[in-house]
Amino acid sequence: MLTRRPLLCAALMLAVVPPAAAENGSSWSSVLADFFLGPETREEFRWSSALKSGATVEVKGVNGSVHAEAARGRDVSVIAVKKGRRYAPKDVEVKVVEHAGGITVCAVYPSAGGPANECLPGAGGRMNVRNNDVSVEFTVQVPDDVGFVARTVNGSVEVAGLKGDAEAHTVNGSVRLQAAGQGRADTVNGSIRAVLGRTGKQPAAFRTVNGSIALSLPADASASIRAQTVNGSISSEFPLASTRRLTRRELSGTIGSGGEELELHTVNGSIRLHRAP
């Protein structure tokens, strides 16, 4: 009986899954998800507006990736694609909150008891998903003189070609960050790859737990470096002054003329500090 059950299950699946699925481009995983969870529905949100120079665009999501790229003009553009199977995408509202520092854009999920979810800048607001399976993927176009901050929980963050400062924060996902300004990033389960145009006047950090860190800085960068890993190695293409190697996996020193601290920290992964051409 044990050897017959897998065959019986396979026969049942073939009976309920139409063979035409493979012919019209649907993957088996998508077909099985349709069968067990119901068909995927989606909804799209679009918003655009001009922002003053020096403002910051902040995106706050929960389930879904965040992508940012340079805008061609003066307007900030936000596209949010909502997708779900068990729950309706229309019930997840994308809100844009304007404030003195710029705008904050949030995916606000319906509340299931307790305090209502709300969209507020920075550490403010409330984002409780309550097992809602709707994902919201953000694509943002950012003008040259506007900063960008991405925050999500389950999803990757990719920031490419921005002219200003940028931050990327997630929990379960990798980070790819390329900006001409200053930057910082953190995740828990994922690697970090960052290319920055300058070091900052404020302390900055790149942190993960399960993943490697690779940071590229301009050849004339100046900062105080502190790098630490538990299971991995550390290397630097910059000559480090005042180097203090505490252990094989902990290193501190200065590049250039020194300056504010730049922290690189992981647990399971290597750390690489590159010098950009």
Q: What is the mean pLDDT of residues 157-177?
A: 97
Q: What is the mean pLDDT of residues 12-18?
A: 47
Q: Which long-range contacts (CB under 8 A, 24 or more apart) does 92-99 make?
A: 92/132, 92/134, 92/136, 94/45, 94/47, 94/136, 95/119, 96/47, 97/121
- 277 vs 22, higher pLDDT: 277
Q: What is the pLDDT of residues 115-154, one digit of tens each?
A: 899 999 999 998 888 889 999 999 999 999 999 999 999 9
Q: Which pLDDT value is given to residue 8?
A: 47
CA distance 159 to 230: 28
Contact 192, 175 (CB under 8 A): yes
Q: What is the mean pLDDT of residues 250-271?
A: 93
CA distance 200 to 27: 46
CA distance 165 to 268: 28
CA distance 93 to 109: 7
Beta 75-84 vs 41-50: how paired, if at all? antiparallel
Among all chains, which residue has been given the structure tokens 């299950």?
9
Q: Which pLDDT value is given to residue 231?
A: 96
Q: What is the mean pLDDT of residues 76-94?
A: 96
Query: Within its chain, how far is the Cα of 232 from the centroid?
Result: 23
The pTM assigned to this predicted structure is 0.84
Q: Which pLDDT value is given to residue 115?
A: 85
Rank 213-217, 245-249, 259-263 by mean pLDDT and report only the highest.
213-217
Q: What is the pLDDT of residues 191-203, one digit of tens each?
A: 999 999 998 778 8
Beta 75-84 vs 135-142: how paired, if at all? antiparallel
Among all chains, which residue has been given the structure tokens 């481009």?
25
DSSP string, the chain: -TTHHHHHHHHHHHHHS-THHHHTT--HHHHHHHHHH---EEEEEEEEEE--TT-EEEEE-SBS-EEEEE-SSSEEEEEEEEEESSS-GGGSEEEEEEETTEEEEEEEPPP-SSSPPB--STT-SB---TT---EEEEEEEE-TT-EEEEE-SBS-EEEEEESS-EEEE-SBS-EEEEESS-EEEE-SBS-EEEEES---SS-EEEE-SBS-EEEEE-TT--EEEEEE-SBS-EEESS--EEEEEEETTEEEEEETT--SEEEEE-SBS-EEEEE--
Among all chains, which residue has been given the structure tokens 């922290």?
263
Taking CA atoms, 240 is separated from 236, 253, 275, in Å, by: 8, 6, 12
Task: Write out the two tokens for 133.
Answer: 């399976």
Q: Please list, residue by residue across 248-275, b when 16 or more beta carbons sit within 10 angstroms of its beta carbon and e when fewer do.
A: ebebbbbbbeebebbbbbbeebbbbbee
**206 burial via Cβ count (<10 Å: 0-12, 13-18, 19+):** buried
| Residue 274 pLDDT > 50 | yes
Query: pLDDT band for position 39 (50/70/90)?
Result: confident
